[in-house]
């Protein structure tokens, strides 16, 4: 295929795979697309290991990295908050509420085995605040010591210094947008690729569906290339995004049930059985609306009779250990932890009902895309 995105990155097909799993990122790159490693849960040390591994695997082919730096979050104006500073801002009633959930669902405590925090070092009191520029800066420096072709900020416009550093090293910058105004703001600060992410997507999303959002953003930022995202995991959906003006697609959820994915086995089983109606946008994990699988965890937080989630980054600091405890115990069938455990996923989950290799997902998308385009061509001929 030949689009602005394939030309920009020197890839065979304009499929970019956002994933927290290095194996998926490498597999998609080797299949002709481009893997983009989500680094928010990485420590700088782990990111160094994973990027070195990816580069060895892909042999000079392009890949990207994704970080999260929101434009605004609790304490961002002060700039110097540590995790301990944030913990002092968490109301006692919210701590008690989390403890009560764990008690009612009989979730055991973690063994003292040095478990890896879900957000890369959040358990250390002097650690950088999650989803902050300070945290992202250390990851960015590790990334720029390697060879990613694309650096993406997944939540808000990339900070000016992030853009400057990346461009000094000759890297392209991407950013997600849920409104045309957001996309215009990104382009104005120097972003090279816009990811138009619709309401259907997993993780942090806006309020506008992909069918409306993609052409709005394409028109707003032309000639800057746009990737369609949100509800895209099949070739027909890819064809629709391209017909709306996108130069490629950005997919995340569809990789969560692949053979290479590191998705928790219990969560993977839930994904494979889920329908497109089994997700919910909830602030229960990060403090900002993020689409995820609906489970007892989201129901507890979205109950109007109970406490509301805190803002970012208070909520992730509040629930990080609880989520680690839940995931650790969720392997036990029939347990309360099994009822609670969940993860980010988009409405495309209803089509994720078989386990495939990541490469096979790429190949199946392209085959279905070709069939869809040929069908349209046939309709024109008729």
The whole-model pTM stands at 0.91
Residues 140 and 229 in one domain: yes
Question: For the chain, what percent of residues have pLDDT higher than 90?
Answer: 81
Question: For the chain, what percent of residues have pLDDT higher than 70?
Answer: 90
Q: Is residue 351 part of a domain?
A: no
Residue 282's DSSP bridge partners are 290
pLDDT at 186 over 60: yes
Residues 31 and 149 in one domain: yes
Average pLDDT over residues 130-150: 83
Q: Which of 258, 290, 315 is at the close of a domain?
A: 258
Residues 67 and 101 in one domain: no
Q: What is the pLDDT of residue 161?
A: 86
Residues 64 and 91 in one domain: no
- The DSSP line for 176-201 is EESSHHHHHHHHHTT-SEEEEE-TTS
Average pLDDT over residues 200-225: 97
Residues 59 and 108 in one domain: no
Distance CA 258, CA 358 (A): 6
- Residues 315-372 have pLDDT tens digits of 999 999 999 999 999 999 999 999 999 999 999 999 999 999 999 999 999 999 999 9
Name which residue leads in pLDDT, 72 or 34: 34
Is residue 252 very low, low, confident or very high in pLDDT (cuts 50, 70, 90)? very high
CATH number of the domain within which 202 lies: 3.20.20.70
Q: What is the pLDDT of residue 151?
A: 96
Name which residue leads in pLDDT, 199 or 134: 199
By residue range, what is the domain housing residue 13?
A: 4-75+129-258
Q: Which of 217, 241, 258 is at the close of a domain?
A: 258
Name which residue leads in pLDDT, 17 or 378: 17
Name which residue leads in pLDDT, 40 or 16: 16
Residues 300 and 227 in one domain: no
Q: Is residue 226 part of a domain?
A: yes
Distance CA 364, CA 164 (A): 38
Average pLDDT over residues 132-152: 86
Residues 253 and 302 in one domain: no
| Strand 290-293 to 172-177 pairing | unpaired
Average pLDDT over residues 182-188: 96
Q: Which of 258, 279, 301 is at the close of a domain?
A: 258
Name which residue leads in pLDDT, 277 or 85: 277
Residues 51 and 24 in one domain: yes
**How many domains are there within the chain?**
2
Q: Is residue 360 part of a domain?
A: no
Task: Describe the strand order of the beta sheet including 290-293 as a list of residue ranges.
Answer: 203-204, 290-293, 279-282
Q: Is residue 346 part of a domain?
A: no
Average pLDDT over residues 198-208: 95
pLDDT at 301 over 70: yes
Mean pLDDT for all residues in the chain:
92
């Amino acid at each position: 295929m030949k689009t602005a995105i394939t030309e920009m990155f020197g890839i065979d097909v304009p499929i970019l795979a956002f994933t927290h799993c290095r194996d998926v990122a490498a597999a998609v790159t080797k299949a002709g697309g481009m893997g983009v490693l989500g680094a928010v849960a990485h420590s700088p040390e782990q990111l160094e290991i994973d990027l070195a591994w990816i580069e060895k695997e892909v042999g000079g082919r392009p890949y990207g990295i994704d970080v999260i730096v929101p434009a605004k979050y609790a304490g961002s104006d002060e700039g110097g908050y540590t995790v301990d500073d944030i913990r002092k801002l968490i109301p006692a009633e919210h701590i008690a509420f989390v403890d009560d959930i764990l008690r009612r669902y009989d979730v055991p405590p973690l063994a003292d085995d040095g478990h890896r925090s879900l957000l890369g070092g959040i358990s250390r009191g002097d650690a950088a605040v999650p989803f902050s520029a300070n945290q992202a800066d250390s990851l960015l420096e590790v990334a720029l010591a390697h060879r990613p072709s694309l650096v993406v900020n997944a939540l808000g416009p990339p900070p000016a210094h992030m853009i400057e550093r990346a461009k000094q090293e000759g890297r392209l910058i991407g950013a997600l947008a849920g409104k045309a105004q957001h996309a215009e703001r990104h382009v104005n600060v120097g972003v090279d690729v816009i990811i138009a992410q619709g309401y259907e997507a997993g993780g942090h999303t806006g309020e506008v569906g992909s069918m409306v959002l993609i052409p709005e953003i394409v028109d707003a930022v032309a000639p800057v290339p746009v990737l369609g995202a949100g509800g895209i995991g099949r070739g027909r959906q890819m064809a629709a995004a391209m017909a709306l003006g996108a130069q490629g697609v950005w997919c995340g959820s569809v990789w969560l049930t692949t053979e290479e994915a590191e998705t928790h086995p219990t969560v993977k089983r839930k994904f494979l059985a889920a329908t497109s109606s089994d997700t919910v946008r909830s602030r229960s994990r990060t403090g900002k609306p993020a689409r995820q699988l609906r489970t007892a965890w989201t129901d507890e937080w979205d109950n109007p009779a109970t406490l509301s989630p805190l803002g970012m980054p208070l909520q992730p600091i509040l629930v990080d250990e609880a989520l680690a405890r839940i995931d650790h115990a969720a392997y036990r069938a029939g347990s309360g932890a099994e009822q609670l455990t969940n993860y980010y996923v988009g409405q495309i989950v209803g089509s994720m009902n078989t386990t495939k290799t990541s490469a096979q997902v790429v190949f199946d998308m392209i085959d279905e895309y070709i069939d869809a385009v040929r069908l349209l061509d046939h309709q024109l001929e008729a």
